[in-house]
Chain A
Amino acid sequence: MTVRHRLETFSEPIIEWVIRLCGISSIIFVFGIFFFVFREGSGFLFQGFDLVEFFTSSEWYPTSVSHKRYGVLALIAGTVSVTVLAMVIAVPFGLGAAIFVSEFCSPKIKETFKIVIELLAAIPSVVWGFIGLTIMNELIIDLFHAPIGLTVLNGGVILALMSVPIIVSIGEDALKAVPDTYREASEALGATRWQVIYRVLLPAAKNGLLAAVLLGVARAIGETMAVLMATGHAVQIPGSVLDSVRTLTATIAAELGEAPVHSDHYRVLFLIGVLLFSITFVVNLTADLIVKGIRQK
């Protein structure tokens, strides 16, 4: 045995262990995220934290001198209102575009369009926030004669534009996964493209499309910088789309810098983080199970 030979016999098991360790790193990180975020917030959970008030009160006064109140209902309402509006816009447009790209396009246009979608998905969220702050803000003030343009509408539109690329690309994958024999069989029976889509493709791809929508929702809920800059800073339950709101994510981003380390305020922000983590975890898990369900069929 040469030296090199011996070296390789020794090093191979080590390298394989390193690879195994890297393989399970994602599990470690996901647990690590939950552990460390929960650890920072947990101190407050066991002393003087009122879970009922946390979820049912809309009074968020973390820095009040006389009576500090930590109710996140208004923040949840902010997140929900912006997300719902975003999905109302993004789901029809995203799925429509996915259908167009997958079923009506020539291959060349399809390639170009996919590149455009990919580039759009790459636009950083802070740039989206800036677009909301400047262009969308002026548009909304002009169009609706509103006193301020940083509203649910603004945040919703920005979030819709941000989640459309995800919905299009995953929706298109779902449509592509429907076997071509389905299309051929129905076209042989004389169905038009539209009939094929409406009667055959949509029912066959419905799980994948649902997963696409769920991932869009997860992106919208978790988005921070764009909504921080585009929705204004008003902790309130919105009455119309022209009201300003504040979301769960924006609250953490806006207040973490000012909250003294290990104060109650600081810990509550980490608890909001735990809440956000749990919500997106469940949504992503559901989407993944739905997709896996298709593959097993």
Chain B
Amino acid sequence: MHQQPETNNLDQPHANQNLFTETPFVGKKRRTEFMAKGVFFLMTVLMVVPLVLIVFYLFYKAFPILSIDFLFTNPTHGMRAGGIWAALLGTMYLVLISLLVSAPIGVLAAVYLNEYARDNWFTRIINLAVVNLAGVPSIVHALFGVGAFVLFARMGRSILAASLTLAIMTLPVIIAATKEALNAVPMAFREACWNVGASRWQTIRLIVLPNSISGILTGIILQVSRAAGETAPIMFTGAVFFKAISEGDVFAYGLFDQCMALSMHLFTISTQVPGVPEALPYGTAVVLLGSVLLVNMLAIVIRAFLRSRKKW
């Protein structure tokens, strides 16, 4: 035990506390505080822990079937055996084509909202439309896809129709992320550029977009993860229960073909086909969940990287 010099008493927090005795009122206050913190902490933990457990349980159940072969073979025996190749490739097609459509439209829409639009009622309506587009139920998007693309535009049930439906559905994700990224570029950057005689579009192309590219990339990645997981919008616009394609051929689907998709495949083998061995749907779920989570983590890493090297 070492001794404290007595003159220093007031600087010692624990010594300080003993200067006062707790009144019942203060005690009650302290206990309520402690309880409130405990309850809120418990709520948070109760919410997160089961979810993490569920994810681990899925992985545990799927573990026996996960292999390279599972990814690269077609489903066989009426989808009661084999792998998920056709579905995996189908999902990639849908995601890629929907990305090609929604990324340019979404980024330019955000450019308009952030760089061109004035603060008036019309802009407010556009923002409202973006919010509502994000809020439309996925099954209503599916109905829209059937009405507009499959029937009205005569695309039939095809990869193209399904991708366009997905593109419109995921547009708000890209718009929101890009808008945030553009908004983070300081106004002084633009003003400096205008002052040397650059036009509005030149400023956007040379200064604003390059400085917000990581944020835009994050939005695009989030779009990919969203599009990959959706089921309802593609169910009636292009995805089918089963379609055999040649294994290992990445150009197996055409634009107007129907295709399988991972999310749809999971739905099919877990509800529509009797007698599927248990590991198969778990494996499909884990591949879908795993890829979506991986893509999201990539977005998080990019964002952290962007924050760490921000110049302004």
- A residues sitting closer than 8 Å to B (CB atoms) are 8, 12, 15-16, 18-20, 22-27, 29-30, 32-33, 36-37, 39-40, 92-94, 96-97, 99-101, 103-104, 113, 115-116, 118-120, 122-127, 129-131, 133-135, 161, 164, 192-195, 197, 215, 218, 221-225, 229, 249, 252-253, 256-257, 261, 269-270, 273, 276-277, 280-281, 283-285, 288
Contacts and interface: CB of A to CB of B under 8 A. Distances in A.
A104 B40 contact: yes
Given A26-B126, A194-B32, A253-B235, A118 B296 contact: yes
B274 to A, nearest CB: 14
B289 interface: yes
Given A19-B116, A33-B144, A118-B296, A223 B137 contact: yes
B139 A37 contact: no
A27 B109 contact: no
A285 B132 CA distance: 7
B15 to A, nearest CB: 22
22 contacts: A8-B202, A12-B199, A12-B201, A16-B116, A16-B201, A29-B171, A40-B147, A94-B47, A99-B40, A100-B43, A119-B297, A124-B228, A125-B231, A126-B264, A134-B281, A194-B32, A222-B140, A253-B232, A256-B143, A261-B151, A273-B139, A288-B131
Nearest to B152: A36
B116 A193 contact: no
**Chain B CB within 10 Å, residue with most, of A12, A24, A113:** A24
B303 to A, nearest CB: 10
Contacts, number: 253
A134 to B, nearest CB: 8
B192 interface: no
Contact of A249 (B33, B139, B288): B139
In the A-B complex, the 9 residue pairs with the smallest Cβ-Cβ separation, listed nearest first, are A124-B229, A23-B112, A222-B137, A96-B43, A36-B147, A22-B108, A100-B40, A194-B36, A284-B135
B161 interface: no
